[in-house]
Structure 1
């Protein structure tokens, strides 16, 4: 049972988080009342895995055994995993793949500011998760104006129960978010809280002309996203700029299954063509998160996935790093690798298959540099009524080139 001291601590931590969000500029004044009324902690389960910024891992915290630690994590500006492996891993340790989470409060606050709601605006949220976002929207706009869609039945049911307990009753729907919610369309705003690789045409079709779609979008080249803010036109197309880099768990149907590349490299290096390059890991953006270089390569080299393997384990003292590139085109087995060693000015490039993936990547990098190495925020995206995606630089009249051969 909670004591008055426990409740006072929670109230103090909640006020401290809200004050931090205000002072940092993440929380705008028009959302302050909703944040004060709807505490994040109310939506978090007893066992959760806050992301540790120092170790880069999700560490378990259980309210039943460590209530003070749980409270601190609940009111910290860190993302919190609430589900692993689509619910197949109950814990207590981390599972293989995090599949549902509570976003950083600062990210939540900024995205709510991005959608620019107004009185009686109707909002469709894709990705209910804990239900905190839906609760904040309902507190601001009223229950009847908020529809939220969650693909996982257990996650949806838990969010619905927490919302009801707090006296909030948005329409919580269990379904595929890619389909939107046509029964109650049109909407003034669509807010997506999962990473997107293919923007569903249904979202634009269910948004009023002049309405906004705000979503974390990216390519399969890497896990990183950029928040795109699209305005829907009369013809059903949607276009707008990227606002800032960030990273979300991906929509389940659009996750990258790395097992699909298992047959690409049957023998290494086999008959791969070999060359050298002076391009470094830093040039490729591999030494930092949210690199514009990685983002732009993904735009310019379609249907390409890549991964960095570093030889820094106890069994490998060479420090050798290998960047792998795989062609995602159905039936293709094209691949490339770039092997770098500390102290060596040149890296070894190997390529196999009809697509010369490294040539495409290096050309994309050269193009980006030739444009002055623009930031992610200099780019934007247009989505046609049919769902085709067309990235651009500085405006829709300047499409990003594709270097696929």
Structure 2
């Protein structure tokens, strides 16, 4: 399966065979879908072993914790907060990490421990440090490391801070999403080091970035593939509720009205969301579902001043838009999508990221071509 998808390379095959995923997965799990973020119903190894084994050895993510551990039932909680990533993503990221004999690696986000165990098997446990913010998750991973005879240094702490006591590192890999690459990661690496991390703006759309650290302390590199990871807890977004926005409660009488040829469906592709979020970093969206595939897309700003809606109905080519507030958010989205078309409709692989001590910048094709950012 992984060989057919070109995710598992020959240099990782010994680790894959020696460190089975089932040894790092709990008895109760909620399987997801490949490339998706929806979880199915819980499967218990003790009561349904055939389905459990089938899902563990499918190329799907497995949710293992909800609501930071506060949810303990068999149903689904509000938010998934720990998981075992789909194997294709695990080995694609390990391939992008380009480890070498003797590489010292810092992993951000231990989770179930499978990724750290794969690294420890290949590089030796003494060359791997893994950081996990949740003490219970970290303790369970340690138990699995010990049972399997692989014991990387396991640290409980805020992954945004890295682990300075183990620095400098040759490689850093994050198994949680960020919207800002913590500069502490760059500071804890050697020149020439590689950082691989899921990056995405608050609006949505996430991809794996592969950064190389220069002698000048600047990390730079391209996005290599799409991804969908849970956020680093230090960077979780908190969006104001829709009813907190002026005029939203009396929709649409308070808003200006018009039609648009830009379909709300055109705003939902992962690379579209990425482009929108990069250019309008304080915008987020919500969806109200109707019947027969109809829905209303809300665009809102973090400052709680402006909103826009567009109503989608299958088969239509013109869509009703309502805009309220000092900003015209749907017009801003139209401008971004027009820019995207003018640039030849770039996908993730044409974007890149530069991280400096003073901030970060997304660029298109080359580092000297920054993507425009539209600030209020």
Task: Pick the TM interval, shorter chain.
Answer: over 0.9
3-state SS of 2:251 partner: coil
In structure 2, list runs of 5 or more residues that go unmatched.
Answer: none
Q: Does 1:237 find its partner at 2:218?
A: yes
1:190 & 1:52 partners in 2: Cα distance?
Answer: 27
Report the counterpart of residue 271 of structure 1 in structure 2: 254
3-state SS of 1:198 partner: coil
Q: Does 1:46 find its partner at 2:27?
A: yes
Contact kept in structure 2, 1:338 and 1:347, CA below 8 Å:
yes
2:178 & 2:38 partners in 1: Cα distance?
Answer: 23
Quick one: structure 1 residues 88 and 136, their matched pair in 2 at CA, closer, same or farther if it must change by over 3 Å? Answer: same
Q: Does 1:280 find its partner at 2:263?
A: yes
Report the counterpart of residue 369 of structure 2 in structure 1: 398
1:82 & 1:262 partners in 2: Cα distance?
Answer: 33
Contact kept in structure 2, 1:263 and 1:333, CA below 8 Å:
no
2:249 & 2:356 partners in 1: Cα distance?
Answer: 39
Report the counterpart of residue 308 of structure 2 in structure 1: 336
2:84 & 2:42 partners in 1: Cα distance?
Answer: 14
3-state SS of 1:23 partner: coil
RMSD: 1.7
Contact kept in structure 2, 1:227 and 1:243, CA below 8 Å:
yes
3-state SS of 2:296 partner: strand
2:330 & 2:356 partners in 1: Cα distance?
Answer: 30
Report the counterpart of residue 143 of structure 2 in structure 1: 161
2:330 & 2:275 partners in 1: Cα distance?
Answer: 15
Q: How far has the Cα of 1:178 moved from its partner?
A: 0.2
Taking structure 2 as the reference length, the TM-score comes to 0.95
Quick one: structure 1 residues 50 and 215, their matched pair in 2 at CA, closer, same or farther if it must change by over 3 Å? Answer: same
Aligned residues: 373
Report the counterpart of residue 345 of structure 2 in structure 1: 373
Q: Does 1:357 find its partner at 2:329?
A: yes
3-state SS of 2:275 partner: helix
Question: 1:211-250, aligned counterparts within 5 Å?
Answer: 211-222=193-204, 224-250=205-231
In structure 1, list runs of 5 or more residues that go unmatched.
Answer: 1-19
Q: Deviations over 1:30-66 (max 9, x none)?
A: 1111111111100111111111569943221111111
Q: How far has the Cα of 1:302 moved from its partner?
A: 1.6
Q: How far has the Cα of 1:21 moved from its partner?
A: 1.6
Report the counterpart of residue 324 of structure 1 in structure 2: 298
Quick one: structure 1 residues 245 and 87, their matched pair in 2 at CA, closer, same or farther if it must change by over 3 Å? Answer: same
3-state SS of 2:72 partner: coil
Contact kept in structure 2, 1:363 and 1:403, CA below 8 Å:
no
Report the counterpart of residue 135 of structure 1 in structure 2: 117
**1:311 equivalent among 278, 290, 313:** 290
Q: How far has the Cα of 1:100 moved from its partner?
A: 0.2
Quick one: structure 1 residues 248 and 349, their matched pair in 2 at CA, closer, same or farther if it must change by over 3 Å? Answer: same
Q: Deviations over 1:136-156 (max 9, x none)?
A: 000000111100000111000
Q: How far has the Cα of 1:393 moved from its partner?
A: 0.4
Taking structure 1 as the reference length, the TM-score comes to 0.88
**In terms of mean alpha carbon deviation, does 260-269 or 192-201 score higher?**
260-269
**1:94 equivalent among 76, 84, 95:** 76
Q: How far has the Cα of 1:389 moved from its partner?
A: 1.8
Contact kept in structure 1, 2:225 and 2:349, CA below 8 Å:
yes
1:353 & 1:55 partners in 2: Cα distance?
Answer: 32
Contact kept in structure 2, 1:383 and 1:390, CA below 8 Å:
yes
Q: Deviations over 1:132-186 (max 9, x none)?
A: 0000000000111100000111000000110011111101111110000011111
1:253 & 1:215 partners in 2: Cα distance?
Answer: 15
